[in-house]
Amino acid sequence: MFNDTTAELILTPDGVIKNIVFVEELVASAPEIKNWKITALKQPSDLGKFGIEMDGYIFNESKMQFYATEHSSMPDEIDITITHEDFTEENKAIMTNGVYLALDHSLGELNSITKIDNVNIIAPENATSELVPFKKLKDFLIWREKEFVEKYKGLRHNTENDKYSGLEATLNNGLPLIAVVNTDLLAWDSKASHPWIAVMEIKYDGDNNNGMPDSDTYQLLNQIEDKITAELKDSDGYLNVGRQTAESVREVYFACMDFRKPAKVFHKIKKEYHNKIEINTDIYKDKYWQSFNRFMPN
């Protein structure tokens, strides 16, 4: 119950970033219903008052503490370690689910997903830094966000004249891998301004061509990629980092300032081509583009 006369229905994407915008739009289009409140995403609540119980374990402010790990090469990475006094290696899966649920309730689901880059969960005796009360995590994230926003607000990158490199490799199974990447972008010193990585995975039949597309498929793949780049423009905060082709799969990579528009663009293109080719999509946070390190020279 939201109050004595109103029931609240909360719709959640359960941590799937690419689905957030659709939950938000669904709730925005919901009709007014007497005595009902329909809410997008779990909202912040007082974990000190309510707490969470899961599989016999309690997740509240008295059970958990935290500390942040700083990385000199990634100064804006929000890497949080949370301790729970009942944590063991045997109950790690339960602890992980419970802590993430506690973060959703304490910070709000959107903040939990977007403000923290990495979460580790350990026992208190394994802590390597001074522990801070869990109730102070929200204030810590607000402070760090202010530093981050001021540093990267409004940054854009024009990729029109960037240099691209073609990379070739042989996989362990002997099949070829071919990639084309924007090497200027990979060397860019402001990656953290575009922390959301959007990946479109396009599967095709390359069994008779060493995992590579035939001529007709190649044209179709380029057509799909052209449609993406027409809607996700670099000047609007969406950078085409490159693509990789191997083992009957092409992956197309974008680094983005936000995650909502890429989710909608990818969904629209997936629907448009669903009868022609198999497409899967993903969006995840990678503030320093560590997932592209494999394209960097040793």
Mean pLDDT, range 75-99, rounded to an integer: 95
Backbone φ and ψ for 241, nearest 5 degrees, come out as -80, -35
pLDDT, tens only, 151-194: 666 677 788 889 999 999 999 999 999 999 999 999 998 898 89
Is 298 a residue whose pLDDT tops 70? no
Q: What does pLDDT average to over the chain?
A: 93
Residue pointed to by tokens 């040793």: 298
| Minimum mean pLDDT range among 30-39, 125-134, 140-149, 204-213 | 140-149
Which helix H or strand E contains 102, and what residues bound it? helix 92-107
* Structure confidence at residue 206 (pLDDT): 95
pLDDT, tens only, 270-294: 999 999 999 999 999 999 999 999 9
Those residues whose C-beta lies under 8 Å from the C-beta of residue 179, and which sit 6 or more positions away, are: 166, 167, 168, 169, 242, 243, 244, 245, 295
Which helix H or strand E contains 168, and what residues bound it? strand 164-170
User: For the chain, give me the number of helices (H) and strands (E)?
Assistant: 7, 14
* Structure confidence at residue 166 (pLDDT): 95
Spatial contact of 164 and 183, defined as CB atoms under 8 Å apart: yes
Rounded to 5°, angle at Cα 194 from 192 and 196: 110
Q: How many CA atoms lie within 13 A of 264 on its CB side?
A: 10
Rounded to 5°, angle at Cα 100 from 252 and 46: 130
| Minimum mean pLDDT range among 20-29, 41-50, 184-193, 245-254 | 41-50
pLDDT band at residue 145 under the 50/70/90 scheme:
confident
Query: What percent of the chain has a predicted confidence (pLDDT) above 90?
Result: 85
Order of strands across the sheet that contains 118-122: 118-122, 74-84, 64-71, 132-133
Mean pLDDT, range 264-269, rounded to an integer: 98
Mean pLDDT, range 59-75, rounded to an integer: 93
Spatial contact of 10 and 42, defined as CB atoms under 8 Å apart: yes
Distance (Å, rounded) from C-alpha 143 to C-alpha 94? 30
Of residues 145 and 80, more confidently modeled = 80
Distance (Å, rounded) from C-alpha 119 to C-alpha 170? 34
Mean pLDDT, range 32-53, rounded to an integer: 90
Mean pLDDT, range 77-94, rounded to an integer: 96
Tokens of 119: 């979460």
Is 242 a residue whose pLDDT tops 90? yes
Tokens of 197: 């990585």
